[in-house]
Amino acid sequence: MSGERVANPVTHLPGEQSALWARLTGGLSGRAVEGLFLLVVLIGFIASPKFLTTFNLDSLLHQAAILGVLAVGQYVVVVAGGFDLSVGAVVALTGMVTARTAGEIGLLSVPLAMVVGGVMGLLSGLAVTIGRIPPFVATLAVLGIARGLAFTVGNQGIVITEPAILDVNDAALGPIPAVALVWIVVAGLVYAFLHLTRSGTYVFAIGGNADSARLAGVPVARVKVGVYVLSGCLAGLAGTLFAARSGSGSPGIANGWELDSIAAVVIGGVSFFGGSGRLPRAMLGVLIYLMLTNIMNLVNVDAYVQNVLKGALILAAVTVPLLIRRRRPAVRSSL
């Protein structure tokens, strides 16, 4: 190890010590998510003949579309250095809004749900920026507000009879359900926004180091509010997709989905410290997470054992890459 590297630890990246080590770990950790995805598909193929049937894959895609749209929003917030605990409750609230209004305004209830979700996101964003409240507490409080409002809209489930909404779930383009296309389009648009626009670059900048970004002239507060609004809007969209799928709105649903979406994003290799992580991999994380649940259901793994295995998976997904990249210079840990 040369003295120069010690003097300038920022350039001391993992694997500089040996090209072979770099190729091994770089190659491994660089493709770990894709590898895990293929591994899970293989496990599913071996474990159950039902896994690769059209019926099962169709149902998987429907689930993935809803969690996927949610995870796109969560991904953007995590990249910006925060996280959004309110998304599950917002799904319940906007599902109720959809169910309540679908009869009168038909498909217009979808943008309405997105606006309601966006308002919830705006609340989180303002609390985080103007209120300077940590994202955890701010979005936790908004979780409570959204959940309470969902029950205020109606303390019981509302059945949707409007065919326009129900068709959203049933429509398909060839073998691909329309909701999956919605997910792909949403992910594509957000990906393009993040990588082709200046604001998108700002999201990565403030997640990497908010102070540096501020000094470089990035409007940190505005970008932060923006990512929470985006996450809220997408949670609203996911809420209508779920309402369409279940044919009803229900105020108590989607408990813990915020944790599912965070888990999916983290399994997809997105750094919880913010500033890095790729959207396509986060989407693979969604599929990995759902496929594992699906496989465990197919082979009749006890629901409680599933809980234990999920916990272990999340921990492993974060710990293993960190252990491989141990030589990276220390980053200040955050919540």
Partner 1 sequence: MTVSNDIGAADQQVAAEKPRTARGLPGGTMLWVLLVLVVLSALLTQGVFIRPSNLTTVLFQSSVIGVLAIAQAFAVIGRGLDLSVGATAIFAAMVVGGASSTADSFLPHLPLPVAVLAGLLLGLVIGLVNGTVAGRTRVPPFIITLSTYLMIVGVTFLATGASPVNSPHPVIREFGEARIWLVPAPVLLWLACIAAGYLLLRKTKYGAMLYAVGGNETTARLSGIRVSRVKLLSYVAAGVFAAVAGMLFLVRTGTVLPSDGSSFMLDSIAAVAVGGVSLAGGHGRIRDVVLGVLILAVVDNLMNLTGVSQYLQTAVQGAVVLIAVGVNLRLSHNGNE
Residues making contact with partner 1 (CB under 8 A): 83, 123, 127, 131-134, 136-138, 140-149, 151-152, 155, 251, 255, 259, 262-263, 266, 272-273, 302-312, 314-315, 318-319, 322-323, 330-335
Q: Smallest distance from the beta carbon of 322 to partner 1, in angstroms? A: 6
Q: How far is the CB of 36 from partner 1 (least distance, A)?
A: 16
To partner 1, the closest distance from the beta carbon of 287 in angstroms equals: 19
Nearer to partner 1, 137 or 171 (CB): 137
In the chain, where does DSSP find H-type helix? 3-7, 19-21, 27-30, 32-47, 54-79, 87-105, 109-129, 135-153, 163-170, 178-196, 198-208, 210-215, 220-246, 257-267, 279-298, 303-324
Least spacing, CB of residue 155 vs partner 1, in Å: 6
C-beta of 132 vs 198, nearer to partner 1: 132
Q: How far is the CB of 266 from partner 1 (least distance, A)?
A: 6
CB-wise, 212 or 334, nearer to partner 1?
334
Buried b (16+ CB within 10 A) or exposed e, 290-326: bbbbbbbeeeebeeeeeeeebeebbeebbeebeebee
For residue 172, the 8-state DSSP code is E
Cβ-based nearer residue to partner 1, 7 or 323: 323
CB of 32 to partner 1, least distance (A): 15
CA 309/CA 125 separation, integer angstroms: 34
* Phi–psi pair at 197, nearest 5 degrees: -115, 160
How far apart are the C-alpha atoms of 267 and 259, rounded to whole Å?
Answer: 12
What burial class does residue 58 get, using C-beta atoms within 10 Å of its C-beta: 0-12 exposed, 13-18 middle, 19+ buried? middle
* Min CB(305)–partner 1 separation in Å: 6
Q: Which is nearer to partner 1, 111 or 134 (CB)?
A: 134
DSSP structure class, residue 335:
-
- For residue 239, CA distances in Å to 38, 80, 200, 269, 312 come to 30, 23, 25, 25, 28
- Name which of 33 and 142 has its Cβ closer to partner 1: 142
Q: Which is nearer to partner 1, 212 or 255 (CB)?
A: 255
Q: How far apart are alpha carbons 38 and 44 in whole angstroms?
A: 10
